[in-house]
C-alpha cells in the first residue's frame, strides 16, 4: 500500500489496533516542529533566523526538481516540514 495523501494516512492510522503504538523515532520527546525552529534546553532558539532563511532558500532551489508538486506548498513552514525530512535536514547539518 502506498499512501500519498494525509487523508489516506489518517484513515490507515484510525484502522490500526488500539494497542498499536506509533513512534516518532526519537530518543527524547521533542516538540513537533521542524528542527530549525526548535529551542535548546534554556529555551533559546538553536539557530539564528538568518541561518534558517539561507538554508530554506537553498533547499527550495535544490529540491524543486525532486518534488512532485512543489507549487502546492503554501508557505515557509510547509517548506521546512519537507526540508526536515530530507537527507539535508537542517538540524543534522547545522
Q: At a CB cut-off of 8 Å and minimum separation 6, what does 38 contact?
A: 30, 31, 45, 46, 91
Q: How confident is the model at residue 54 (pLDDT cuts 50, 70, 90)?
A: very high
State what percent of residues in the chain have pLDDT above 90.
11
Cell of 66: 525532486
**Does the pLDDT of residue 3 top 80, yes or no?**
yes
pTM (global) more than 0.85: no
Q: Which residue has the higher pLDDT, 56 or 19?
A: 56
Q: What pLDDT is attached to residue 42?
A: 93
Q: How confident is the model at residue 44 (pLDDT cuts 50, 70, 90)?
A: very high
Amino acid at each position: 500500500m502506498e499512501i500519498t495523501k494525509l487523508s489516506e494516512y489518517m484513515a490507515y492510522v484510525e484502522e490500526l489496533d488500539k494497542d498499536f503504538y506509533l513512534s516518532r523515532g526519537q530518543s527524547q520527546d521533542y516538540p513537533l516542529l521542524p528542527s530549525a525552529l526548535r529551542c535548546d534546553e534554556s529555551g533559546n532558539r538553536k539557530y539564528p533566523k538568518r541561518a534558517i532563511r539561507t538554508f530554506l532558500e537553498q533547499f527550495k532551489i535544490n529540491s524543486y526538481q525532486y518534488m512532485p508538486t512543489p507549487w502546492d506548498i503554501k508557505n515557509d513552514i510547509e517548506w521546512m516540514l519537507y526540508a526536515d525530512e530530507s537527507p539535508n535536514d537542517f538540524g543534522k547539518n547545522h
